[in-house]
Structure 1
Amino acid sequence: MNTPVQDPSSPRSARVIVGVSGGVDSSVTALVLKQQGESIAGLFMQNWDEDESGECRAEDDRRDAIGVCGRLGIPFFARNFAREYWSGVFEHFLSEYRAGRTPNPDVLCNREIKFKTFLDEARALGAEKIATGHYAQVGWRDGRWRLLRGADGDKDQTYFLHQLGQEQLAATLFPIGHLPKAEVRRLAAEAGLPTAQKKDSTGICFIGERDFRDFLGQYIPAQRGDIRSVDGSKVGEHDGVFYYTLGQREGLHIGGVKGRPAAPWFVVGKDVATNVLFVDQGTDSEWLHSRLLDSEPAHWVGGAPPGTRLRCTAKTRYRQRDEDCEVTVRDDGSVSVRFDRPQRAVTPGQSVVFYAGDECLGGAVILRTDARLEQQLGHRAA
């Protein structure tokens, strides 16, 4: 079958540009729109240039995306956004790790690349809207667009989409947001799409299957230091505090410690200034828990906060259960969040995302918490 690859100078008749990634979700997104009689074309985004490791399988994904568009008989476009990704996402990713925080590049990628650079490119191709394979839904009520959870609770991706605003939602379709993943797979197989049985991608493209520490070490040199228990005693050594995050158990390599029970150790804090990693035993260590957090200026999907003080639910990591909380919005746009019950491993650099039922209200990057060790280190620095 000839693949209908179009040159950007060709006639621009597609009303919707589908972000085809070479995965099953974007493939069925295009399929659903095609079956609905929508005028569509596919656009493949390459956000990271291949390196000598060959781990970021962009070319394989591109071939799969071409195959899907060929099967559906729709035009295919490809664009390289690696430069925009580097400046808009990756440089921030590195700066956050250097500061000892744990960033979430997927949130920034959605805001800066998929719903900004990609949307601009789709409009340049003459399209009115874009469509992606995210598990989310868009609603309209009381004069504004609303970001709603995907019907499949295990796949809902609104956590990663909370930085979208009214302009983006007005121009976006989520055609599979109402479907469970199993149904998406079934539709792909029924239509004979080459991605029907393709495994879901995991992790971050620019890391791929490589060891995370090896990858990060190319940009942030490793510096060995002490691993200390919360009482200050040395229990091991690490390769660099940047490589660890709160609640982490793997990779500590702490053997039997004299006078300590044979229980697993968990990261409970890190001091970048002294290059010390702090650990404690037990998944429910009190050193891992907090009830308060402060954030950077928040983003609200509706364009403004629902009030200066509101009761809602929130999550501080993907697939976490919703937790009841009270949010106070400060004059500078930042928020203070008090949870009704203690939360485990709330991590600066990650996002806190707010919900009212099925509606995602927005969110913010976590700046600090009242976790016991974080408070002690902060007071010492002050």
Structure 2
Amino acid sequence: MRVLVAMSGGVDSSVAAARLVAEGHEVTGVHLALNRNPELYRSGSRGCCSLEDSNDARRVADTLGIPFYVWDFSDRFHADVVEDFVAEYAAGRTPNPCLRCNEKIKFAAVLERGVALGFDAVATGHYARLGFAGEDAELYRAADAAKDQSYVLGVLTQAQLRRSLFPLYGTVKADVRAEAEALGLRVASKPDSHDICFIADGDTAGFLDRALGERPGEVVDAAGAVLGTHGGHHRFTVGQRKGLRLGVPAADGQPRYVLAISPVDNTVTVGPHEALAVSEITGIRPTWAVAEPRLGSWRGLVQVRAHGTPLPCGIEADAEGVRIALDEPAFGIAPGQAAVLYDGDLVVGAATIAGAR
């Protein structure tokens, strides 16, 4: 099989490539250049598209004896991921750029080009298990629960999953590092990436200030009483506790959290933790990882954060969206995030959270 491996320069994608070579596949490595500004194609970061990362990926490819290329997807990345990120915050929502990158870049743009060049599949270093029932692909959680990344893959379609490979599905992280060490790969001890890759200094609020401009507004309580001011609602997300800078302490002395963000009047509403409790989630723009959309009423699990706890729930789904009734209240559900639906360990699909009550 001709396989294109998206090599970030980290240990996971490096070992994924090595395993495919060992299995006898015809492997080519590709590193994605995603920043249009060369100054952001940087050294010393903990993102996933720095100059350091590109060089690391190239060295791994040389060690494995496979062809290696750098593909420039910076314009498409800017339009589909960066501009989407800014627009979502401007609208008072909290997006997940890594999930959007998987959806729009790694398993859409890269796969599209790879298929056009004659490749059979695209492989990554994600921790998730891919199985098949006949010709239908089935995406499951990884064996290592601490590293499971099925959540950020939940937006993938059948067409994309059928041409995907996740060689690390049954491995724990410590074993991946040991395998890289045994292969003589210099990335064996390289730290995992955590930063949003297009925010070089890790200052998300500052990045959004530069993109949207400062827009002072009020911080209020549920009754509308003004408690303080802010420099822009885009600096906040539902459930946030730190950085509120309130001039008026709560009467009970307890911490306050962001309950709601209103971009129309540029206000941020805060209140006690118990006011964050949510029993129902509404999702829009559903996508289905399974071959047949799971419409109608059914019971399953929903995950609302990349490393969140799966929550038992009842689900009502149609072509327009999903309504999720949680068995037990959850806290800090932010509009704009993804609600990924599971049947046990099987990923069924995903929707964008539009509201919660």
Q: Structure 2-normalised TM-score?
A: 0.94
Q: Which residue of 2 aligns with 1:228?
A: 220
- Candidates 46, 60, 68, aligned match of 2:33: 46
Per the TM alignment, residue 255 of structure 1 is displaced from its structure 2 partner at its CA by 5.2
Q: C-alpha deviations, 1:30-82, integer Å up to 9, x for none?
A: 11112222221101111223454646652111100001001111111110101
Q: Which residue of 2 aligns with 1:5?
A: none
| 1:265 aligns to 2:267 (yes or no) | no
Q: Which residue of 2 aligns with 1:297?
A: 285
- Candidates 311, 316, 326, aligned match of 2:304: 316
Q: C-alpha deviations, 1:340-380, integer Å up to 9, x for none?
A: 1111111111111111111100110011111xxxxxxxxxx
Runs of at least 5 residues in structure 2 that lack an aligned partner in the other structure: none
Correspondences of 1:186-205 after superposition (within 5 Å): 186-205=178-197
Contact 1:22/1:61 (8 A) holds in 2:
yes
Q: Which residue of 2 aligns with 1:66?
A: 58
Please say which of residues 121-130 and 95-104 is displaced more in the overlay: 121-130
| 1:180 aligns to 2:172 (yes or no) | yes
Contact 1:28/1:184 (8 A) holds in 2:
yes
When residues 46 and 52 of structure 1 are mapped into structure 2, their CA distance, relative to the original with a 3 A threshold, is: closer
Identity percentage of aligned residues? 35
Q: Which residue of 2 aligns with 1:278?
A: 269
| 1:359 aligns to 2:350 (yes or no) | no
How many pairs were matched up? 352
Q: Which residue of 2 aligns with 1:85?
A: 77
- Candidates 116, 120, 140, aligned match of 1:124: 116
Q: C-alpha deviations, 1:135-187, integer Å up to 9, x for none?
A: 01111125511011111101111111111112111111100111001111111
Runs of at least 5 residues in structure 1 that lack an aligned partner in the other structure: 1-13, 371-382
Please tell me the residue identity of whatever aligns with 1:126. G
Per the TM alignment, residue 230 of structure 1 is displaced from its structure 2 partner at its CA by 2.2
Q: Which residue of 2 aligns with 1:164?
A: 156
Query: For the residues of structure 1 that align with 2:189 and 2:328, how far apart are their CA atoms?
Result: 41
Query: For the residues of structure 1 that align with 2:292 and 2:284, how far apart are their CA atoms?
Result: 15
Please tell me the residue identity of whatever aligns with 1:169. L
Correspondences of 1:335-350 after superposition (within 5 Å): 335-350=322-337
Query: For the residues of structure 2 that align with 1:209 and 1:184, how far apart are their CA atoms?
Result: 29
Residue 196 of structure 1: SS of its match in structure 2?
helix
Q: CA RMSD in A?
A: 1.7
Please tell me the residue identity of whatever aligns with 2:258. V
Query: For the residues of structure 1 that align with 2:105 and 2:171, how far apart are their CA atoms?
Result: 25
Q: Structure 1-normalised TM-score?
A: 0.88
Correspondences of 1:126-145 after superposition (within 5 Å): 126-141=118-133, 143-145=135-137
Please say which of residues 151-160 and 259-268 is displaced more in the overlay: 259-268
- Candidates 64, 67, 83, aligned match of 1:75: 67
| 1:105 aligns to 2:97 (yes or no) | yes
Query: For the residues of structure 1 that align with 2:198 and 2:253, how far apart are their CA atoms?
Result: 37
Query: For the residues of structure 2 that align with 1:245 and 1:88, how far apart are their CA atoms?
Result: 21
Please tell me the residue identity of whatever aligns with 2:195. G
Please tell me the residue identity of whatever aligns with 2:106. K
Residue 88 of structure 1: SS of its match in structure 2?
helix
Query: For the residues of structure 2 that align with 1:215 and 1:26, how far apart are their CA atoms?
Result: 28
Per the TM alignment, residue 15 of structure 1 is displaced from its structure 2 partner at its CA by 0.9
Per the TM alignment, residue 295 of structure 1 is displaced from its structure 2 partner at its CA by 1.4
